[in-house]
Every structure is written in structure tokens, then in C-alpha cells.
Amino acid sequence: MALTAEELLSVWATGSERHPVDRGLLLFALAAPDTPGAELADRPLGERNSALLRLHQTLFGETLDGYCDCPHCGERLEFALRCGDLLAVADDTASMGEVAGLPCRPPTSRDLAAVSHLGDPEQAMWRLLQRCCGGGIANTASNTELLTAFEAALEQADPAADLNLALACDACGQAATVPLDIAHFLWEALTAQARRLLDEVHQLARAYGWGEAEILALPPVRRRAYLKRVLA
């Protein structure tokens, strides 16, 4: 779906005040308008991420340009990915199966919200495991084996739920694996576009005395043409 300038700013203003998990659901609602809003929080994370990748294709194009810091030396690492390549990974799914003899389901946004306050990634994964298996697994000394089994089952059943990016750092020579948060990535792209629109509104309003609604209603080509004359 395409967004008008006014719609994009409205989404940005609404999401700016929300928790990152809720922002992901706000974007999910945009990407899946035919899905009842009450159901979105209980859909698998891989389904949400796939929908957000398609939304990025529609709004900002195929390429995901970004950067991260090397976890070993702190060097800034740039990367470029294609949404289509990540969507191909997302389509390679299987049944979740069992963990420790209990049926297990893929995590959802609701599960993500329930563990978002936990600062320890291993503890968060353990809580996810308990939630996705109905709370029937006790916290014991065999945590490592159970978590490994859970992560392997999740990677097979819902590979887009937890996307990671493998990079090589030219500065220190170390390999780095960093998480790829599609919801955060899309939100940053939307925020950058919103800020550009706000700058255009500010400059055109000062130059011509027009209101925000009048400026946003202009087709982008005409808005940029007026802005070019203001900045000349």
C-alpha cells in the first residue's frame, strides 16, 4: 500500500509515543490491512516481519541500506540487503514440532512484549521458551540444551522470526553476527521520511504562508519544485 504524505506523518506521530513492540504492531496493521487488528499481536513474528519487508518494498524500495557497530571493536559496519532475499528465507518454513517433549509454537508480538523488559538475552529466550511451550518447562540446569533445541526448532519453523546478519569486520578481522530488527529498520526509514516532510512544510509555510494541510496535499513533484525555488 502507498501512503500519502499526510498519512505517513500521522503514522509517525502515533508511533513516536509507543513502545517499539507496539510500533511494530502499528506497522504490521499498515502492512496487513485485511487482518483484524485484534489478531495481529498473536500472529507469529515471522509473519509480521515478512509483512514489514513487503511494506518496505512498497514505501521505500527493495534495498535495505544500514549500518551497525562491530561487537568486537566498535567499528562502524555498513551493509546493503534486498528485501526479496530475506522474504525467500521467510518462505522456507516447517512445523514447529516439540521441545522437551512438549508441543511448541512460534513466538508472537505478545510474547515479545512480555519479555521486552528483561535485560539478559538468555533469560528472555528462556521466558519465550516457557511461554511458547505453555509454561510446562521448569527452569533447570539443562537450560542451555533446551534453549539450543528451542532456537533450532524456531529457525526451522519460522526463520523470519529472528533474523541475523553475518558480517566481517575489516578493522579487526573478526566475524560478527548481529540481529536484524526489521520493525526498527522500517521505523527508522519512515522517521527519516517524516522528518524530510516536516522540513519541507516548515520551509514552504515560512515562504508562502500556506498551512500544513495545503502543503501536504500538493503532489510531491510540485512540492519539491516550490521548495527548489525557495532554496534558490
> In one letter, which amino acid is 184?
H
Cα radius of gyration rounded to whole Å, the chain = 21
pLDDT score for 103:
85
The number of beta carbons lying within 10 Å of the beta carbon of residue 144 is 9
- The number of helices, as runs of H, and strands, as runs of E, in the chain is 11, 6
pTM of the model: 0.89
Q: How do residues 199-216 score in pLDDT, each as one tens digit?
A: 999 999 999 999 999 999
pLDDT score for 35:
92
Q: How do residues 86-114 score in pLDDT, each as one tens digit?
A: 998 877 666 777 777 888 889 999 999 99
157 alpha-carbon distance from chain centroid: 19
pLDDT score for 9:
97
The number of beta carbons lying within 10 Å of the beta carbon of residue 162 is 19
Q: Give dist(CA 201, CA 120) in Å, integer.
A: 43
Low-confidence ranges of the chain (pLDDT < 50): 141
Angle at 115 between CA 47 and CA 85, to 5 degrees: 30
pLDDT score for 63:
93
pLDDT score for 142:
57
